[in-house]
Structure 1
């Protein structure tokens, strides 16, 4: 089993997307169809446009045969190849493919059949690869605005991001975007607005703006927009707070910058709160690196392939910020993949206590595998294991102190997804204490520091979803109470000895 120091492999060889740990692997070599695969190659031709060429058919045939071979070699479970091909044939009449070229039909059939294996395996077009790279870089090419949709179904600008084309063009909060390059945006979803505003760096996009009773056009050139994934605050003058909203290529540098600020401004805090709520994951290397900032030694995470074969592990070997300072890690049902692994690593190494809700339960690993015939596959190839050899997949991470929200929204977890892989090797821990969030209400003083003082990460930036209204954060107030007095202080006295004992 290889032990890797994080950051040694290039980023493109360790790509992990939201809800998935993913590695990029090139595939090559001749492929020949089996009798079963030939049945598919004969069947899909009935669904292709009449003007398809022989070269297009040859490319698509190779795409399918190569994809099945790669799947058979690398999927986390043994694949019944004839059954997979049979499902692909059965999917053809139901396909809703916009691209009816040979590769378009084959790609759609592969995608449908891969989703039947598990919810995270998929076929990826070249455009999907480009978006994947954007999502892991922590930046994108756009105009730089935070958007939402108002009650009239118009795209509303919540705020322009500082030092971006949108800010320099004079766009203002509460401006409405009625058209993008002439496309009427009334009633269109946020995702469509994002798609139209993103593009190549330097290319112009024209926004039609409604400001009170005035309508006018603004043309801006797209630029590289950096999206912060970390914010930090000082709470009640002596509690350090850091929130990590995802793990991308820039998250580690941001985290170190804020941790150094917190150490400089507080010195020896009463406690530190690490907030991983609504964090869907991201780059595995990034998640392991950030866990390492709080650990001087110990296993952080390992990966396990077909037949429980150990693949690799990530060991702590970095600095230890706030050494000896009590830590609370916040999780909720939206915390997934890397966020779950980081929380488990900190707790199982005796570093912190987990407060909040049981997490999402996404503990499978995906590899991105480009195909020589175009596009590629995202295939589940293994599971993540925690330092104590538990598997998060399907189980999630159980909090030490459970905080129950009165109006908790309905939220599917991994096990609720269609074709989800079954749970394995569950952590036997139980909740040590449970309480209603309302009982934690207390007035706290929150002082944001650094760039987060002006960029409020509680509102999603362009392309990441709709803006959320700020409201009382009773779970955070519970965590503050854990370091203070009252009911949670009693829990702290009970939980801390168990944590230090590794229970």
Structure 2
């Protein structure tokens, strides 16, 4: 999945792979000579006492996985090279259970990571966690995690209003120990397992932040966190933040948009905040974009050889029709968040303010295997309405707002084995300015649950005042702030679809 930067996880990071589909797989063929080389090689690593049935089960897993990969991966794979990688990985496996099925699964996972950062082998338990994450409910501490290049557990982001967020955990923190267990070299699934538990039970995370190491103890909770928060800014600007796209996001979005429209008689603007949104279900992202569009293509997918596969067309536009819109992005906005922002801009609906986004534009499918577990395989790319691909490039804002304290982490193109960039959107930012030049005091009335990061409560005595400078700058786009000077440049371009 993700090595560094946004987005793999198995638990919540699997949320980040928008458009993940569940597809049934056919049974495997007989092993080829290439596959037989691996099947012979891995036997030397198996703990003594393995049965013939266990070997047969593991053999079937590998052969079936190679068949599925050859038929569905986004590029034609070199089967011989893949098998060589599988054999080479056997000497470096860091697993306790050296049974045939575990060795083959670990070798498959390692080999799939050499194709791209997001392809992976999934156990049955991982499937269950994926289902929980896309349903918007799970038990734990509430963080999105990944493996970095040094096989440390990296926090991609804490989920809003969860124990992890309230404990002050930050993107790019490394989890070195969980309840004293050393985590370097451990798979994501083991980190998730150790952080799961009964609601209310504490778990102690040892955090490495830059060069400072410290312990944080948080209580596990049932994470049924909303993916949408909203508010009214300065009495006449609607604000809605979508932190991820899951099965409940559309209903939450519609509920908040309806309330915003009923409360704001003459809206001056609407701000759609997609910062730190790692993506999620593609259908959800497309449906939410559709709330603001009357017609036009939202997103399409293409597979091997640029073969067009599926497209999502707009037909709804129920909310804030003709009201000026600003979409907020940052380097943590990925996958579905990038596609939604591009769809709104390329259909002339809104201006993008903030930072260039993460650049995750590939599509993964979950392929269950008859031999158990399954594969998460990259099968295509997402294309924007103008047929651009965000993979590797990200989405460039119309107005770039730079924060001096912005969190630094690598984007998609920096990940090991990242898929190459292609068909880049030629747009460049019209302006680039420092956030401090457009900070302003704004008044926010929160609706529903508060968002600690974007709609901050008043600080207690002695606490530093939090300013969401980018949000404050975006408010100025609709008023008399420094960004308002760019309205006359941006709005005609939007109307012309440029």
TM-score category by the smaller chain?
Answer: 0.7 to 0.9
Check the 8 A contact 2:61/2:371 in 1, yes or no: yes
1:327-350 residue CA offsets vs partner (Å, 9 max, x unmatched):
000000000000000000000000
With the length of structure 1 as denominator, give the TM-score of the two structures.
Answer: 0.81
Superposed, which structure 2 residues align to 1:42-57 within 5 Å?
42-57=40-55
1:72 equivalent in alignment to 2:67: no
Distance 1:499 1:233 in 2: 25
After superposition, the CA RMSD in angstroms is 3.0
Q: Which one of the candidate residues 461, 467, 489 is aligned to 1:494?
A: 489
Q: What's the offset of the Cα at 1:87? A: 1.2
Most deviating of 332-341 and 477-486: 477-486
- In structure 2, the residue matched to 1:3 is none
Distance 1:194 1:87 in 2: 27
Q: 1:122 to 1:38 in 2, by over 3 A?
A: same
Q: 1:91 to 1:479 in 2, by over 3 A?
A: same
> Structure 1, unaligned stretches of length 5 or more?
1-14, 147-157, 167-172, 175-182, 210-219, 461-467
Superposed, which structure 2 residues align to 1:458-473 within 5 Å?
471-473=466-468
Q: What's the offset of the Cα at 1:472? A: 0.9
1:180-221 residue CA offsets vs partner (Å, 9 max, x unmatched):
xxx9947988x989745635xxx6765599xxxxxxxxxx9x
Check the 8 A contact 1:20/1:362 in 2, yes or no: no
Bigger Rg over Cα: 1
- In structure 1, the residue matched to 2:392 is 394
Q: 1:413 to 1:442 in 2, by over 3 A?
A: same
Superposed, which structure 2 residues align to 1:65-464 within 5 Å?
65-141=63-139, 185=179, 195-196=193-194, 198-199=196-197, 206-207=201-202, 225-452=223-450, 456=452
Most deviating of 424-433 and 486-495: 486-495
- In structure 2, the residue matched to 1:8 is none
1:386-419 residue CA offsets vs partner (Å, 9 max, x unmatched):
0000001011001000111123332100100000
Check the 8 A contact 2:178/2:194 in 1, yes or no: no
Q: What's the offset of the Cα at 1:225? A: 4.1
Distance 1:29 1:94 in 2: 30
Q: 1:188 to 1:30 in 2, by over 3 A?
A: closer
Q: 1:394 to 1:30 in 2, by over 3 A?
A: closer
Distance 2:438 2:429 in 1: 18
Check the 8 A contact 2:278/2:334 in 1, yes or no: yes
Distance 1:91 1:208 in 2: 32
Q: 1:88 to 1:343 in 2, by over 3 A?
A: same
Q: 1:145 to 1:25 in 2, by over 3 A?
A: closer
Q: Secondary structure at the match of 2:22?
A: coil
Check the 8 A contact 1:16/1:23 in 2, yes or no: no
- In structure 2, the residue matched to 1:9 is none
Check the 8 A contact 1:296/1:318 in 2, yes or no: yes
Moved over 3 A (4+): 183-189, 191-199, 203-209, 222-225, 455-460
Check the 8 A contact 1:294/1:322 in 2, yes or no: yes
Q: What's the offset of the Cα at 1:19? A: 3.7
Q: 1:470 to 1:283 in 2, by over 3 A?
A: farther
1:298-333 residue CA offsets vs partner (Å, 9 max, x unmatched):
100000000000000000122331000000000000
Check the 8 A contact 1:299/1:345 in 2, yes or no: yes
> Structure 2, unaligned stretches of length 5 or more?
1-12, 144-157, 168-176, 205-218, 457-462
Distance 1:145 1:43 in 2: 40
Q: What's the offset of the Cα at 1:434? A: 1.0
Q: Secondary structure at the match of 2:449?
A: helix
Q: Secondary structure at the match of 1:73?
A: helix
Q: Secondary structure at the match of 1:379?
A: strand
Check the 8 A contact 1:63/1:374 in 2, yes or no: yes
Distance 1:119 1:223 in 2: 30
Check the 8 A contact 1:458/1:470 in 2, yes or no: no
Q: What's the offset of the Cα at 1:98? A: 2.7
Distance 2:266 2:413 in 1: 41
Distance 2:136 2:420 in 1: 32
Check the 8 A contact 2:178/2:195 in 1, yes or no: no
1:484 equivalent in alignment to 2:479: yes
Distance 1:362 1:496 in 2: 27
Q: What's the offset of the Cα at 1:116? A: 0.4
Distance 1:356 1:225 in 2: 29
Most deviating of 88-97 and 112-121: 88-97
